[in-house]
Structure formats: structure tokens, C-alpha cells
Amino acid sequence: MTKRCLPLSLAPCYTSAMEHLWAPWRMTFIAPKTPQPQECIFCTQPAAHRDAEYYIVYRGTRCYMMLNLYPYNNGHLMVVPYQHVASIEELNAATLDELMAQAQLALRALRHVMKPDGFNMGINEGKVAGAGFAEHMHFHIVPRWQGDTNFMPVIADTKVMPELLSTVYQKLKEALDTLEHGQTTGEQ
């Protein structure tokens, strides 16, 4: 192994030997799906009524809430209208009202369960804007914590996710069920 020194702001020294971070559970997220889905996942997944399998944590009349399979951070939720439209401009007032009401509910549940310091929220409209499924609009809610960035994404192009999606799903589902039935969660 060759020892090399970096500027003090990065690290005093490192070796040229490659380090490995083993995370075999991530394979389910990166392995190609066979066959590749041809339909809109935001239409087919809620219609299948397999909420736990698809991480659908909440259902309303016009919109539903699900965890992102490829989250920026733990707890990354999406609020999705059942209506298949590419733009928020195509939603009627009642659907827009429910979309925002569910966003508020999501924030309350995430604050209770995960205690974030802030949130990133928004809509990626169009492929050029980063929409993975541009034909069906969806609203992202990403919890953020003070100091939630570290060297892994910068140096190793790797995001470390500290909690399994199934665990986050269960915690948020329970919190949303509690909030929906008007019970207090101890957080105000």
C-alpha cells in the first residue's frame, strides 16, 4: 500500500488500497427489474392494493403517500395524486387541496417519528428537471438534519442510509394512522 497525504482540510493521510463498504441489502434497489415496468408505477402500485410491498403509507380520496424507493434521505416521501397527469396545472382545486393537506400530514408524521431539523419539498416536472416518471406528477418531501451530509457522497459517491425502508415504513404508517384518527402523538 502506498501512503499519500491530502490537504489538512480533507484528511491527513490515506492509503491507496481500495476500501469496501458492504451493503448487500442495497442490491434489491439497483438490480434491474425483470421485466422493466411499462406502466406508470404511480397508477399500478396503488391499484394493486399491496401497500406494504410498495411502501404506500397513507391513502386519501384523491392522493396517496408513499416512500421513495431511491431516497435522498431516510423518510423521503412522495404525495401522489391518483389522477394520471404530468403537470400540477392539470389538477383540479380539490386534488390540489388534498395534495397540500397530505403534505402537511406528512410533515407532522415525519417530525414525530424522525425529528428532522428541516425539509426539502418540491416537484420535478419534466425529464430535464429530474422527474423519474415525468408523465405522473408527484410532490417530494425530504427530511433533513443538521450535519446530515458527510464525506461519503463527496469522496466515495455513496449515500449511506442508516435505516431500512421497511422500518421507516412501519414507523410512518403507525404515526399516520395515529394522526388520522385524531389521537395526539405527544408532539405539537
Tens digit of each residue's pLDDT (9 = 90 or more) over 79-124: 999 999 999 999 999 999 999 999 999 999 999 999 999 999 999 9
Say whether pLDDT at 155 is over 90: no
Phi, psi of 109 (to 5 degrees): -65, -45
User: Which residue has better confidence, 69 or 12?
Assistant: 69
Q: What pLDDT is recorded for position 108?
A: 96
Whether 138 is a known active-site residue: answer: yes
Residue 17's pLDDT band (cuts 50, 70, 90): low
Q: What pLDDT is recorded for position 73?
A: 85
Torsion angle of the four alpha carbons 142, 51, 57, 184, in this order, in degrees rounded to the nearest 10: -170
Which of 76, 112, 136, 138 is catalytic? The answer is 138
- Domain spans, the chain: 51-179
Rounded Cα distance, 52 and 166, in Å: 8
Say whether pLDDT at 25 is over 90: no
What are the DSSP calls for 102-167, one per residue?
HHHHHHHHHHHHH--SEEEEE---SGGGT-TTTTS--EEEEEE-TT---HHHHHSS-----S-HHH
User: Which residue has better confidence, 34 or 47?
Assistant: 47
Q: What pLDDT is recorded for position 180?
A: 81
Q: What pLDDT is recorded for position 34?
A: 62
User: Which residue has better confidence, 25 or 69?
Assistant: 69
Say whether pLDDT at 142 is over 90: yes
Q: DSSP letter for 88, please.
A: G
Query: Does residue 102 contact residue 60 with C-beta atoms inside 8 Å?
Result: yes
User: Is the domain 51-179 a CATH 2.60.40.10 member?
Assistant: no
The pTM of the full predicted model, rounded to 2 decimals, is 0.73
Rounded Cα distance, 148 and 133, in Å: 27
Query: Does residue 157 contact residue 60 with C-beta atoms inside 8 Å?
Result: no
What separation in angstroms does the CA of 109 have from each of 3, 114, 186? 48, 8, 11
- HSE of 26 in the Cβ direction (CA atoms, 13 Å)? 12
Query: What mean pLDDT is predicted for residues 177-187?
Result: 66
Joined grid coordinates for residue 166: 421497511
